[in-house]
């Protein structure tokens, strides 16, 4: 039986963690994710959740405690954002290499400096090489569903890797939206208790996260890579099963009006709904525009991106992160997907909505028009365009 409630994005991920019957939640509060540990502690205090909450002195410790608890066999979830995620950085790699299926909600927020608490993907983009699976939610419903599914995917024996669910700061974390959720019985049926192949156990001593010499280190990394490659199939299976059970369809990448589109705009996260609205408006004006939303960024959906954009003249990537001295990380990865194809669309990169700057339909129209001009001339230059920026604030030469 489905229930429906109007809740904030942070409440959606906390509800999913509760319904997943998480056993340990180590957490350190940070804007805009603080409501997650607040809700978890409320659930525990109300007797709705039987879990151990570990209040730590930093995010580095939160992730370290998560690693320990997960290695001991517990189902573990936490949440953080921005500087908090950055402080976890070194432990993220340990979690993934120890093959611990920790699930973490990230309130996607800009990295300092300047200090800024608003929506931006630079925090999770900086962790794309950490070995974690990455999912990005468009709305609170997706935040709930992806968080719940992440446990199943992460704990699958073919995968055994941690996963992070990105939900844009404020635009999702603090916005109230209706969210459908299944009953506890249905969730229990979908997500059985975590059954780890190996755990820390005094009766069966074992070493976790041990020293690896040049003789074995590469094989560890190779095994980890095989695992995340296995996750393509596991994610698709879990998405399919979720649809059968709960009626909501998920894809690692979804297309909207892409079939005959000359320009396909790619987005991730909360701007994806605004993008669809913009596409509908531009279609009414006769512009052949389509949209692609990336839900699963790790593992990267090479095949699906190519399939959805194969008829386009140009792909315009609208991304909320910048790798200074390179460009947008998402555009770089999409370009890689096409690198060995003889026939390929042009690819153009647009930086948008950094530090919470609002992303509007007008911005997407500017992107579509700019990209169509590039397609016409056959030249994408410059490679990186900044959308809705005040050039007067940036003197030429960057002095």
The number of beta carbons lying within 10 Å of the beta carbon of residue 54 is 19
The 50-89 site mask, x for binding another protein (CB under 8 A), equals: ----------------------------------------
What distance lies between CA 296 and its chain's CA centroid?
A: 6
- The least CB distance from residue 356 to another protein, in Å, is 7
Based on the shown chain and the rule CB under 8 A, indicate whether residue 270 belongs to the binding site for another protein. Answer: yes
Cα–Cα dist 226/46, whole Å: 42
Positions in 109-128 near another protein (CB under 8 A): 117-118
Among 177, 186, 236, 369, binds another protein (CB under 8 A): 177
- Rounded to the nearest 5 degrees, what angle is found at the Cα of 226, between the Cα atoms of 152 and 213? 115
Q: In sequence order, which residues have a C-beta less than 8 Å from that of residue 208 and are 6 or more positions away?
A: 71, 98, 198, 200
Based on the shown chain and the rule CB under 8 A, indicate whether residue 154 belongs to the binding site for another protein. Answer: no
Based on the shown chain and the rule CB under 8 A, indicate whether residue 13 belongs to the binding site for another protein. Answer: no
Positions in 370-399 near another protein (CB under 8 A): none
| Number of chain residues interacting with another protein (CB under 8 A) | 25
Nearest C-alpha neighbor of 270 from the set 384, 357, 163: 357
- Measured from the CB atom, the residue of 169 and 312 that comes closer to another protein is 169
Based on the shown chain and the rule CB under 8 A, indicate whether residue 169 belongs to the binding site for another protein. Answer: yes
Cα–Cα dist 168/338, whole Å: 28
Residue 181 Cα distances to 140, 143, 167, 178, 246, angstroms: 11, 11, 18, 10, 9
Nearest C-alpha neighbor of 86 from the set 47, 112, 55, 51: 112
Binding segment (CB under 8 A) for another protein, from list 100-108, 164-172, 182-190, 302-310: 164-172
Based on the shown chain and the rule CB under 8 A, indicate whether residue 104 belongs to the binding site for another protein. Answer: no
Based on the shown chain and the rule CB under 8 A, indicate whether residue 251 belongs to the binding site for another protein. Answer: no
Tokens (6 digits) for 198: 């190996």
| R_g of the chain computed on alpha carbons | 21
Evaluate whether 12 touches 179 at the Cβ level (below 8 Å).
yes
Based on the shown chain and the rule CB under 8 A, indicate whether residue 356 belongs to the binding site for another protein. Answer: yes
Cα–Cα dist 305/326, whole Å: 21
Cα–Cα dist 68/208, whole Å: 10
- The least CB distance from residue 178 to another protein, in Å, is 6
Binding segment (CB under 8 A) for another protein, from list 53-61, 64-72, 172-180, 331-339: 172-180
Binding segment (CB under 8 A) for another protein, from list 50-58, 212-220, 267-275, 330-338: 267-275
- The least CB distance from residue 226 to another protein, in Å, is 37
- Rounded to the nearest 5 degrees, what angle is found at the Cα of 161, between the Cα atoms of 160 and 166? 140
- The least CB distance from residue 277 to another protein, in Å, is 5
Positions in 279-298 near another protein (CB under 8 A): none
- Measured from the CB atom, the residue of 68 and 273 that comes closer to another protein is 273
Binding segment (CB under 8 A) for another protein, from list 37-45, 50-58, 222-230, 269-277: 269-277
Based on the shown chain and the rule CB under 8 A, indicate whether residue 170 belongs to the binding site for another protein. Answer: yes
Among 276, 293, 313, 320, binds another protein (CB under 8 A): 276
Residue 110 carries which DSSP code? P
What angle, rounded to 10 degrees, do the helices at 217-246 and 82-97 form? 110
Residue that the structure tokens 């409320």 belong to: 42
Among 38, 42, 236, 277, binds another protein (CB under 8 A): 277
Q: Which residues bind another protein (CB under 8 A)?
A: 6, 31, 117-118, 139, 168-171, 174-178, 270-271, 273-274, 276-277, 356, 358-361
């Amino acid at each position: 039986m489905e229930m429906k409630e109007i809740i904030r994005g942070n409440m959606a991920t906390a509800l999913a963690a509760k319904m997943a019957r998480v056993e340990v939640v180590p957490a350190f509060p940070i804007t805009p994710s603080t409501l997650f540990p607040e809700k978890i502690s409320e659930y525990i205090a109300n007797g709705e959740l039987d879990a151990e909450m570990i209040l730590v002195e930093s995010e580095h410790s939160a992730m370290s405690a998560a690693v320990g608890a997960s290695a001991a066999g517990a189902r573990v979830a936490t949440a953080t954002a921005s500087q908090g995620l950055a402080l976890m950085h070194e432990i993220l790699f340990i979690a993934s290499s120890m093959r611990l299926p920790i699930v973490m909600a990230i309130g996607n927020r800009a990295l300092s400096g300047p200090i800024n608490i608003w929506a931006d993907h630079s925090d999770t983009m900086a962790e794309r090489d950490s070995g974690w699976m990455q999912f990005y939610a468009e709305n609170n419903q997706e935040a709930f569903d992806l968080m719940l599914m992440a446990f199943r995917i992460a704990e699958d024996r073919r995968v055994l890797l941690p996963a992070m669910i990105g939900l844009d700061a404020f635009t999702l974390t603090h916005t109230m939206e209706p969210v459908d959720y299944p009953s506890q019985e249905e969730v229990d049926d979908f997500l059985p208790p975590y059954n780890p192949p190996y755990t820390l156990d005094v009766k069966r001593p074992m070493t976790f996260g041990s020293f690896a010499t040049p003789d074995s280190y590469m094989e560890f990394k190779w095994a980890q890579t095989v695992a995340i490659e296995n996750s393509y199939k596991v994610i698709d299976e879990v998405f399919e099963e979720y649809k059968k059970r709960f009626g909501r369809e998920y894809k690692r990448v979804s297309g909207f009006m892409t079939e005959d589109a000359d320009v396909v705009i790619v987005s991730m996260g909360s701007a994806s709904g605004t993008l669809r609205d913009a596409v509908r408006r531009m279609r009414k004006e006769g512009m052949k525009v389509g949209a692609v939303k990336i839900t699963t960024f790790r593992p990267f959906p090479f095949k699906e991106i190519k399939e959805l954009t194969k008829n386009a003249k140009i792909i315009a990537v609208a991304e909320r992160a910048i790798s200074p001295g390179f460009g947008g990380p998402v555009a770089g990865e999409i370009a890689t997907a096409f690198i060995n194809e003889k026939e390929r669309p042009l690819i153009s990169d647009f930086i948008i909505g950094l530090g919470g700057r609002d992303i509007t339909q007008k911005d997407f129209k500017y992107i579509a028009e700019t990209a169509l001009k590039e397609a016409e001339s056959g030249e994408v230059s410059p490679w990186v365009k900044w959308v809705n920026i005040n050039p007067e604030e940036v003197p030429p030469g960057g002095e």
